[in-house]
């Protein structure tokens, strides 16, 4: 075991958790401020590094219609807008990072830049942006009244979107543009505030980010999605990558993204890798296993098929249950097609096996189950095998993190796996160390940093 | 004086106030959470009905370039995103309404619907949407990389946008669709959740609002903009209208919008009218007048020209100072062109007079200046002349509302002008009375309310 300490994020959607039916599960309160305030305070005080909100404009659809069972059983539905809650959470927490998802096929770069720059100010530099490309295109493109964008094109859109957004954040204001000089009536130096000029195939922009420079400028860039195009996007721009698959597949993905990043001139430790971590923990292994089975018991094969349709667009119910996937062709997310296609060197499972895997584990890979000692043993093994840097922790069966905080973190701390004094105050410093509030020098976004040309001799 | 009580809103931009240079002015802290938390708590406790955030993606531009003086003097620049702060303010207040501006030419209806529905939940029904059409098109269309939309077309876009957004809010979920039945594992009844079908000239949407029904469904609809097309939009949809002009012009505008609303089948009191109210108040009239002159002293003619360019697209500096407007043709906002064009039956002022009016009063009309008794006398006269329902109160010279709350509101209360026990808990009930949380029956948005057809024998 290396002596590195683990980074911990808390994974949430702004909706119901898979275990919402458990009597003690509180995720049905997701539209109440208090629900999030209580959770965020707890995470902050416990020393979890950040709260991460997945999001999507999509929901499970087949043949162009929402799947009834998704509404009835709350499968990847409903969803509120997590960007709306961040200022309240910034207010009640001291150091917790706040990571929010925004899709590059839905939100305009100019709007996202203004919104996240404002939030980066309000939180004093604690914002992260999880860049997604909109894998749920079959639903969201219809909702938005737009043509569905093919998988690889979505990554070209994402690449340009991220670049334009970084231009706005890094290039609009020079570091010393802001004066706030009441005496002389000078708010900012116009010669140090620059209009961005961008003319790309997907986006055009000529103008200003109207928000003065925030502590991090570019929020910490998160990414998920591990198709070849997704890995390429991660290797170019991501500072933290969320992975979720079987352990050996995660190891391959992480090694591949690291190698690609180095090809792009980024350092080997420029990206932190965060596997999904589902901790089902109790005083005894038997209790933990019983809890686990109770949770799985709430999941139906119909719900699993709806979830699979959400992530891939494929209709498992229309396929032969005893054969592998009848087609692996999709223009939606490929991560969960390639995972089960036999293309990764593993034998392709049958549709029945895929449904059962989705029913039990969804997209989050194998859970850790047992006593605190056992789950931390299992988690340490994942870190060792994959070279990952920590976990994006899935909520407890209750929807929050009380078990994780009360039972798992003390065991991690006992083993020296957690930092005692995280650096800050910004999220990027918390992840990469004191003084690193801005993008590092080997990040492509630094090319856009605004500076007045210096006349040379 | 009628016996009606006054509605009070607090007007803010998420940026600097015009008096930011005053040593005591705190608006330079607009990117700090505490600044807004303190202000919102004070307004809530004082009994102000709502906090209103104007917003725009625009800034002063001429000939396609940002105007330097706007950056230097902070003229309608900088700007953060006010939608980000609302959850923090909902958390620290009990009853204060929270009204946010979103432009129908910038934000997609589907995104706005999700965002404001989430906020309406988090605030327990205290959200209002100020519908603007994007009058600052010369800057924002370039920033967004889009073609500038002509003035009248913008209103056609706005009309369709508002209708689609109301469809999503009112039509996606029937009142009894949500079950949250843990025992039987039924979150919602799929037969009572409906996909919206919309195919218009400007927007298409086929899909769901993924947010369960919020307390108000459609947030309270605010509108400003008093061109003929703007009045038409207000008369059709608005529940509260912000007006700012000379008193007799406001009276004409209000009467006209009321008459149009009645033509559209809405009741005479379906719309509340809120003139801008700038209260410059002190213990003596002389002190108030001195304060006023000090504030005006901070404003320059250059800044006034930049502000005029922002609102109208017209370049006063290029015109003869001693003649009326050289052109009244603009595809940007017309409110402040028509105001000075002589088309309203008043003699057209010279460019010099327009600049001086803009330097002194901007777009907010005549301030009320004097002792508490004097300013409330002046305010009452405006209510009487115009038939308005209250004021959208401009910030004190300090950027907040301490003077207004400590000096003006007690005088209003003494005269019985303020409600002692506002109804609630939603903003619509606060404005229109107990039990009126949803759109009233004569509002066109009610046509979209989802209901399962009842089979008739």
Closest Cα of chain B to A351: distance in Å?
25
Q: Residue A383: is its pLDDT beyond 60?
A: yes
The answer to whether B106 and A19 have CB atoms below 8 angstroms apart is: no
Please determine, for residue A242, whether its predicted confidence score (pLDDT) is greater than 70.
yes
Is A197 an 8 Å CB contact of chain B? no
Q: What is the nearest CA distance from A209 to chain B, expressed in angstroms?
A: 9
> B343 to chain A nearest CA, in Å?
34
**Interface residue B145 vs chain A (CB under 8 A):** yes
B81 touches chain A (CB under 8 A): yes
Task: Please check whether residue B296 touches A, CB under 8 A.
Answer: no
Q: Domain residue spans in chain A?
A: 7-278+366-448
Which of chain A's residues have a Cβ under 8 Å away from the Cβ of B15? 210
Q: Least CB-CB distance to B122: which of A31, A139, A189?
A: A31
Q: What's the pLDDT at A264?
A: 97
Q: Out of A19-33, A329-343, B366-380, pick the least confident.
A: A329-343
Asked if A117 and B206 come within 8 Å (Cβ–Cβ), the reply is no
* Cβ atoms within 10 Å, residue A15: 25
Chain A hits for B186, Cβ within 8 Å: 72-73
Closest chain A residue to the Cα of B193, Cα to Cα: A71
Q: Are A71 and B37 in contact (CB < 8 Å)?
A: no
Cβ within 8 Å, pair A28-B180: yes
Does the beta-carbon distance from B211 to A16 stay under 8 Å?
A: no
Chain A, 376 to 405: residues with Cβ < 8 Å from chain B are none
The pLDDT tens digits of the residues spanning A158-200 come to 999 999 999 999 999 999 999 999 999 999 999 999 999 999 9
Note the pLDDT of residue A452: 65
Rounded to 10°, the helix A151-171/A109-122 angle is 50
**Position with higher pLDDT, B270 vs B343:** B270
Q: Do A142 and B72 lie within an 8 Å CB cutoff?
A: no
Q: Is the peptide bond before B309 cis (omega within 30 degrees of 0)?
A: no
Q: Using CA atoms, how far apart are residues A423 and A432, in angstroms rounded to an integer?
A: 8
Strand pairing report for B178-181 and B186-188? antiparallel
Query: How far apart are alpha carbons A7 and A53 in whole angstroms?
Result: 16
Burial (Cβ within 10 Å: 0-12, 13-18, ≥19) of residue B172: buried
Could you tell me the CA-to-CA distances from B119 to A56, A302, B34, B126, B298 in Å, in that order?
17, 32, 20, 8, 37
The predicted-structure confidence for A437-457, as pLDDT tens digits, reads as follows 999 999 999 999 987 665 554
With CB atoms and an 8 Å threshold, state whether A121 touches B80.
yes
Are A337 and A314 spatial neighbours (Cβ–Cβ below 8 Å)?
Answer: yes
Residue B28 contacts A where some CB pair is shorter than 8 Å: yes
Helix, strand, coil shares of chain B, percent, nearest 5, are 40, 15, 45
Tell me which chain B residues have a C-beta less than 8 angstroms from the C-beta of A142.
Answer: 205-207
**What single string gives the DSSP state of each residue in A153-208?**
HHHHHHHHHHHHHHHHHHHSB-TT-EEEETTTTEEE-GGGB--EEEE-SS-EEEE-
Contact call for residues A182 and B20 (beta carbons, < 8 A) = yes
> Chain B partners of A205 at a C-beta cutoff of 8 Å?
142-145
Chain B closest CA to A426's CA: distance in Å? 15
- How far apart are alpha carbons A445 and A167 in whole angstroms? 7
Is the Cβ of A217 closer than 8 Å to some Cβ of chain B?
no
Question: CA of B387, closest CA in chain A: separation in Å?
Answer: 37
Mean pLDDT of all residues in A196-215:
96
Interface test with B, best of A37, A70, A118 (most B CBs within 10 A): A118
* pLDDT band for position B378 (cuts 50, 70, 90): very high
DSSP symbol at B184: T
Neighbouring residues of A287: CB distance < 8 A, sequence distance ≥ 6: none
Report the alpha-carbon distance of residue A44 to residue B309 in Å, rounded. Answer: 47
Which band of pLDDT confidence, cut at 50, 70 and 90, is reported for residue B135? low
Q: What is the pLDDT of residues B258-296, one digit of tens each?
A: 999 999 999 989 999 999 999 999 999 999 999 999 988
How far, in Å, CA of A172 to CA of A191, rounded?
A: 11
pLDDT at B344: 66
- Of A18-22, A51-55, A219-223, B35-39, the poorest mean pLDDT is in A18-22
Contact A122 B33 (CB under 8 A): yes
Q: Which fold has domain B7-278+366-448?
A: TIM Barrel (3.20.20)
Instruction: Note the pLDDT of residue B151.
Output: 83
Q: Please judge whether A143 and B207 are an interchain contact, meaning their C-beta atoms are less than 8 angstroms apart.
A: yes
CA A30, A36, A42, A47 dihedral sign is: positive
Query: What is the DSSP secondary structure assignment for residue A360, as one 8-state letter?
Result: H
In this complex, the residue of A66, A87, A106 whose CB is nearest that of residue B88 is A87
Q: Give pLDDT, residue B149.
A: 85
Residue A322 confidence (pLDDT): 93
Q: Which of residues 297-356 of A touch B (CB under 8 A)?
A: 298
Task: Report, as an integer, the average pLDDT of B362-379.
Answer: 93
DSSP at B449: -
pLDDT at site A420: 86
Mean pLDDT of B126-154: 86
Mean pLDDT (chain A, rounded):
93
Mean pLDDT of A271-296: 95
Strand partners, A220: A128
pTM attached to this predicted model: 0.96
CB contact under 8 A, A187 and B74: yes
More confident residue, A329 or A282: A282
Q: Is the pLDDT of residue B4 over 90?
A: no
Of all residues in chain A, the one with the smallest CA distance to B208 is: A143
Shortest Cα distance from B418 to chain A (angstroms)?
30
- pLDDT at residue B240 above 60? yes
Candidates A452, A210, A212; CA nearest to B136 is A210
Q: What is the pLDDT of residue B1?
A: 44
Q: Is A74 on the interface with B (CB under 8 A)?
A: yes
pLDDT at residue B454 greater than cutoff 80: no
pLDDT digits 0-9 by tens, B19-29: 899 999 999 99
Query: What pLDDT, on the 0 to 100 scale, is given for residue A362?
Result: 82
Query: Rg of the Cα trace of chain A?
Result: 22
Report the candidate in A121, A152, A159, A122 with the shortest Cα–Cα distance to residue A137.
A152
């Amino acid at each position: 075991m290396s002596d590195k300490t683990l980074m911990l994020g808390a994974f949430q959607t702004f909706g119901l958790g898979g275990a919402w039916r458990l009597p003690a599960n509180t995720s049905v309160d997701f539209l109440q401020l208090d629900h999030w305030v209580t959770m965020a305070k707890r995470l902050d005080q416990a020393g979890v590094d950040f709260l991460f909100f997945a999001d999507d404009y999509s929901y499970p659809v087949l043949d162009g219609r929402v799947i009834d069972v998704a509404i009835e059983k709350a499968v990847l539905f409903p969803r509120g807008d997590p960007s709306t809650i961040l200022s309240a959470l910034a207010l009640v927490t001291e150091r917790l990072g706040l990571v929010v998802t925004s899709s590059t096929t839905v939100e305009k770069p100019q709007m996202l830049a203004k919104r996240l720059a404002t939030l980066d100010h309000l939180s004093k530099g604690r914002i992260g942006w999880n860049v997604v490309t909109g894998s749920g295109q079959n639903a969201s493109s219809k909702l938005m009244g737009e043509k569905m964008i093919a998988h690889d094109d979505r990554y070209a859109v994402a690449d340009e979107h991220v670049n334009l957004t970084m231009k706005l954040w890094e290039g609009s204001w020079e570091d010393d543009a802001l004066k706030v000089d009441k005496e002389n009536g000078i708010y900012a130096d116009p010669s140090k505030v620059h209009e961005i000029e961008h003319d790309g195939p997907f986006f055009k922009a000529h103008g200003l980010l109207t928000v003065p420079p925030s502590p991090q400028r570019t929020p910490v860039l998160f990414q998920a999605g591990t198709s070849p195009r997704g890995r390429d996007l991660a290797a170019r721009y991501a500072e933290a990558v969320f992975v979720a698959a079987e352990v050996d597949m995660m190891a391959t993905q992480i090694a591949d993204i690291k190698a690609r990043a180095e090809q792009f001139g980024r350092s080997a430790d420029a990206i932190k890798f965060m596997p999904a971590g589902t901790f089902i923990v109790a005083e005894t292994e038997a209790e933990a296993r019983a809890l686990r089975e109770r949770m799985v018991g709430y999941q139906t094969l119909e719900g699993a098929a709806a979830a699979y349709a959400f992530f891939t667009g494929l209709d498992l119910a229309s396929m032969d249950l005893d054969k592998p996937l009848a087609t692996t062709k999709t223009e939606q997310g490929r991560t969960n097609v390639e995972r089960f296609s036999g293309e990764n060197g593993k034998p392709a499972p049958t549709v029945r096996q895929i449904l059962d895997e989705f029913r039990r584990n969804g997209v989050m890979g194998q859970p850790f189950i047992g006593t605190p000692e056992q789950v931390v043993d299992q988690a340490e093994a994942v870190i060792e095998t994959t070279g990952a840097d920590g976990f994006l922790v899935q909520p407890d069966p209750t929807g929050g993190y009380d078990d994780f905080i009360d039972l798992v973190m003390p065991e991690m701390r006992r083993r020296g796996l957690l930092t005692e004094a995280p650096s800050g105050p910004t999220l990027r410093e918390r992840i990469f160390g004191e003084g690193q509030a801005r993008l590092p020098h080997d990040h492509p976004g630094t090319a856009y940093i605004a500076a007045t040309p210096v006349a040379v001799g």
